[in-house]
Structure 1
Amino acid sequence: MSEPAAGPVRLWDAPTRIFHWSLVVLILVSWLTAGKQMDVHRLSGYAVLGLVVFRLWWGVAGGSTARFASFLKGPKTTLAYVRGLGARTSSDIAGHNPMGAWSVVLMILVLAVQVTLGLFAVDIDGIESGPLSDLVDFDTGRAMAEAHELSFRILQGLIVLHLAAIAYYRFWKNENLVAAMITGRRRFESAVVPLKSAPLWSLAVGVALAVAVAYAAAKGFRF
């Protein structure tokens, strides 16, 4: 078991960081290609679906700081954390703080809804459509497309809140969350338990699941 340590501490493993920055790129690609380059847009969506599947797996069998069980807290703990946000002192939480933890879960859920709706969506002309659109009628497919767009607006709102939180922690609490997500390390003043890495077999299973689900979705789950 990892021993508590102060100073620069291993916080995020490579799979978690790759997931994070890949998601940033893919959301941007999906946004810029929507309604324009639909072939690229669909490929990006399948990749996002794969990332969501991987993150769900990694939240159960990944590195210690990536596991949902390690960072999801109840309402009482979360509210207590929110009440202390005004303090300028940096937090000594090795991983997601209680409020950030729930924002992570919410973003994953919105992304899951977003890509699922896209699989059934049909455009106004009925030309561009998701791989599962033939399972629903035209009106339902159009409703899915509109909900797909609405869910993206919700996702954009969550991203704005995420960026605002990063700025708040950087300039008010002097915590560089971006650097930690790049290097995987963060300096702590008090002793915290560092990251405990997951075994390679767990990473291999997560990647295999992600690729399999993304490929199956691209084929309309027909083989």
Structure 2
Amino acid sequence: MDQLFAFDRRALDLDSGAVLLEGYALSMAEDLLGAVATIAETAPFRHLETPGGRRMSVAMTNTGRLGWVSDRRGYRYDEIDPLSDRPWPAMPSAFAALARSAAAAAGFEGFAPEACLVNRYEPGAKLSLHQDRDERNLDQPIVSVSLGVEATFLWGGATRADRARRIRLRHGDVVVWGGPARLTFHGVDALARSEHPLTGALRYNLTFRRAS
């Protein structure tokens, strides 16, 4: 796949079942960031702890019926925000519409996200190579939206030892992976110090999933 979108942005195959949609969310980026700020008023960003006791460098929150959480008990999805003991903020309709549209553009029709992980990267924050495997239904794709400062996406293979490609993600880019690529190891390299007119030194990432 190498199709042109508006402004000469392309859809680029990363692997079978994995597509980078350049600038796909660019036209609605300001609205997405405004919604992120509203979500954080109810469910503030926090640095989760891994089951091994390490503090994650990426701050996160959730929106949708389910939220992803991590602590000494493990990684899991929960309907309740452990900080407030209340349900997570409802997923904005624009979020769900973008996720469905991007999934369809990548060849995954009928995607119905019920969880959106909202990650906030400060300079130096990173995400080690990992698989997204806490979802019960691995037939559904992952839709990942980049906002703000550019990042280096690490796209690996079927094992953690496989060499990862380094892919630059810009403001408004969307990556979708599923099918044979669903359990590919991936991550984000340490965020370089930079500035974006909408987010300052920060990068935000919206990751949509069907969790149950």
User: By percentage of residues, which structure has more helix?
Assistant: 1
Q: TM-score with structure 2 length normalisation?
A: 0.26
Return the structure number with greater relative CO, CA threshold 8 A, min gap 6: 1
User: By percentage of residues, which structure has more strand?
Assistant: 2
Q: TM-score with structure 1 length normalisation?
A: 0.26
Structure number with bigger Rg: 1
